[in-house]
Amino acid sequence: MFRFFEQMVNPYGDYTQDDRPPTRVGPFLRAYAQPFRRVFFWAGLLSVVVAAIEVGLIYYLGRVVDLLGGDPALFWANHRVELIAVALFILFLRPLLHMLSVLFLNNAILPNFGTLIRWRAHKHVLRQSVGWFENDFAGRIANRIMQTPPAAGEVIFQVFDAISYSLAYVIGAAILLSAADWRLMVPLAIWLIFYGLLVRWTVARVGPASKAASDARSTVTGRVVDAYTNIHSVKMFAHHDRELDYAKEAIENTRRTFATEMRIYTLMDMALVGLNGGLIVGVVGWALWLWMQGQSSVGTVAAASALTLRLNAMTGWIMWALTTFFRQLGVVAEGMETIAQPIALVDEPGAQPLHLHRGRIDVQAVSHHYGRGAGGLDDISLTIEPGEKIGLVGRSGAGKSTLVKLLLRFYDPESGRILIDGQDITQVTQDSLRRQIGMVQQDSALLHRSVRDNILYGRPDASAAEVIAAAKQAEAHAFIRDLSDPEGRRGYDAHVGERGVKLSGGQRQRITLARVILKDAPILLLDEATSALDSEVEAAIQSTLYGMMQGKTVIAIAHRLSTIAHMDRILVMDQGRIVEQGSHDALLAEKSLYGQFWSRQSGGFLNPGAAE
């Protein structure tokens, strides 16, 4: 039974991805709710039916009180069929309808609605560009992905469990009272007006207060995760207290925003108690006055009293449900600041996969300044022939990494274009472009998974033998066999910790090399590929690197100039331009910037501040 309702909606079903999601909460939630339309219809209908039954039972209570005024000896004989029918309804049909309402809400909607939002939101965020991630805290992004789905689920829960139920109940109560005596509607109508004003006052303040509190919580998460992620720096620089103060500032802001939100609820509760007192006195007192005048029955007084006391008990719950509804809408709105951001870097309509035949790269008048008007690249033109090995040299900020990022299409150039085998990389699919490029970065961060999974990231369909062969080429197999983790996993099954923190820098670099070796892409990018290796391991791995380069088009960034001295051509970059190019020997023969770098090296490293 449970499985039937749980499988009514597939949260992972196919859907049309929207690069520019709705920016308002209502359309945003409606877009996610499309697969649930049929389920929502039945959940809403059953909620109204359950509320109508509850009001009907109160009405019937009044009828029973009136019937008790007759001859007790004839009571059962005259009303047994009616009483048995009502009893059977209460024992069997009412629980069945209530159970169906709960199953639709708790089992068909809640588990799947939040899952669908989290899945689609994560899918949307993963499609964002590298630059987008560089402009935010990873912890805050993750927090919004995690807190928005349950908030949206709570919104839906309140719609069907409280709002639709309470609306149906209040309307039913009004009908019941007017049927008994229309004058009983007067105190109820007055109460509804003031209750509506209180709801309006509360809602107008809860939404913004909730959004502020949610935003403050995300900031706390971002700061705390930032400290944990960089715990080595925190410890190394002895900034424990500084990090505490940094977090305390955000935590205190969270406390203040939450306290502001709670003040609204306290004022609401105080006003509600006074309003409900007026409702009870007004309706029950008027019913008693009508009875004393002989204008209503005892049953009417009993039904009005029961209904009013029930409304008194419900009003706090309804108000809390409404404020919860709008408070969670505030959380959703805060999460939308991440989830609903448009995808800026997308494949062009009809983009085809990159067909790489030779590996020729043409950079044509490319400029890119990250929207700042300075830094990055300035009108770069460059042709790299198939199979050519290029070394990139320059001070920090010269534009080397920017060129690599543009080639990977982490950003689109602000002007100019880049062609691979005559194909503009902005016109092919991003995945097909990056599958043709292997890259070893200076920051060799790994996934918090097993060594095997990290190496297989290069080519997921590779065999175990191919994984081991790649690790051996990268001089990693020997130390991998000795690895273990706290869970008892060993060797290639051992997990490496967040960003590979359980391994040394050299070990992480060698696993990264193994991953790229396994990928075997025709274009190879090396960004200080041996920077984390000690001299002995570097010497052993140099032959592996040169072997990797055979038959590939290679761009290698290096501060250790000895690692690129044997490249076919060396490009010297300065202030976003290529200022020199040629072979190692040709550049040294000239009075060149490269020659100054070479002569001022210490231990084979480029002095970034040289030749100022």
For 540, counting Cβ atoms within 10 Å of its Cβ (0-12 exposed, 13-18 middle, 19+ buried), the class is exposed
H-helix or E-strand spanning residue 379? strand 377-384
**The domain boundary residue, chosen from 463, 486, 520:** 520
Question: Which residues have C-beta within 8 Å of that of residue 303, sequence separation ≥ 6?
Answer: 58, 59, 61, 62, 65, 176, 180
Our CA angle for 39, 40, 41, nearest 5°, is 90
Mean pLDDT of 425-440: 92
* Whole-structure pTM value: 0.76
For residue 216, with 0-12 CB atoms within 10 Å meaning exposed, 13-18 middle and 19 or more buried, which class applies? buried
Q: Give the neighbor-by-neighbor strand order of the sheet with 423-424.
A: 377-384, 361-368, 415-420, 423-424
Q: Over 80: is that where the pLDDT of 486 sits?
A: yes
What rounded mean pLDDT belongs to the chain? Answer: 85
Residue 602 pLDDT class (50, 70, 90 cuts): very low
Dihedral of alpha carbons 201, 206, 212, 216, sign: positive
Helix%, strand%, coil% for the chain, nearest 5: 65, 10, 25
Q: Is 402 helix (H, G, I), strand (E, B) or coil?
A: helix
Looking at the structure, tell me whether residues 92 and 225 fall in a common domain. Answer: yes
SS3 label, residue 573: strand
Which 8-state DSSP code applies to residue 9? S
pLDDT for 194-211, tens place per residue?
888 887 888 788 778 877
For residues 204 and 152, the model is more confident at 152
Predicted local distance difference test score (pLDDT) of residue 534: 63
Q: How confident is the model at residue 403 (pLDDT cuts 50, 70, 90)?
A: very high
Per-residue model confidence (pLDDT) at position 431:
92
- Inside any domain, residue 419: no
Inside any domain, residue 18: yes
User: What pLDDT score was predicted for residue 481?
Assistant: 92
C-alpha span between 135 and 87 (Å, rounded): 64
pLDDT at 301 over 80: no
Q: Picking from 74-83, 243-252, 274-283, which range would have the lowest pLDDT averaged per residue?
A: 274-283
CATH number, residue 94: 1.20.1560.10
Range from 131-140, 231-240, 334-343 that averages highest in pLDDT: 334-343
Which residue type sits at 189?
A: A
Determine, yes or no, domain membership for 346.
Answer: no
pLDDT in tens, 540-549: 667 777 777 8
Distance in angstroms (rounded) separating the CA atoms of residues 339 and 151: 13
Do the beta carbons of residue 303 and residue 62 sit within 8 Å? yes
What pLDDT shows up at residue 505? 77
Can you tell me the distance from the alpha carbon of 289 to that of 285, in angstroms, rounded to the nearest whole number? 6
11 has a pLDDT exceeding 80 = yes
User: 253 in a domain, yes or no?
Assistant: yes
Look at 75-84, 364-373, 422-431, 544-553 and tell me which has the smallest mean pLDDT: 544-553
The CA-atom distances, in angstroms, between 110 and each of 6, 8, 100, 163, 319 are: 9, 12, 14, 16, 22
Per-residue pLDDT at 608: 47
Please report the pLDDT score of residue 280 as a whole number.
Answer: 79
Q: What's the pLDDT score for residue 532?
A: 55
Beta strand residue intervals within 255-376, DSSP E: 361-368
Q: Of 129 and 540, which is predicted with more confidence?
A: 129
Q: Which of 339, 373, 395 is a domain's end point?
A: 339
Say if residue 612's pLDDT is above 60. no
Q: Is residue 125 part of a domain?
A: yes
132 falls within a domain: yes
Structural domain contains residue 111 = yes
Residue 170 is predicted with a pLDDT of 77
316 is a domain residue: yes
Helix (H, G, I), strand (E, B) or coil at 423: strand
578's enclosing H/E stretch is strand 577-582
- Tens-digit pLDDT profile for residues 50-70: 888 888 887 777 778 777 777
Question: How many domains are contained in the chain?
Answer: 2
Cβ burial of 573 (10 Å; 0-12, 13-18, 19+) is: buried
Task: Say if residue 609's pLDDT is above 50.
Answer: no
Structure tokens at 522: 């025709």
Of the chain, the percentage scoring pLDDT greater than 90 comes to 32
Residue 105 DSSP one-character state = I
Mean pLDDT, residues 343-357: 90
Name the phi and psi angles at 20, rounded to 5.
Answer: -130, 80
Output the pLDDT for position 319.
72
Residue 606 has pLDDT above 80, yes or no: no
Q: How far is the C-alpha of 606 from the C-alpha of 374, rounded, in Å?
A: 24
For 556, the enclosing helix (H) or strand (E) is strand 553-557
Residue 286: pLDDT band (50, 70, 90) is: confident
Domain that residue 472 falls in: 445-520
- Domain end call among 471, 497, 520: 520
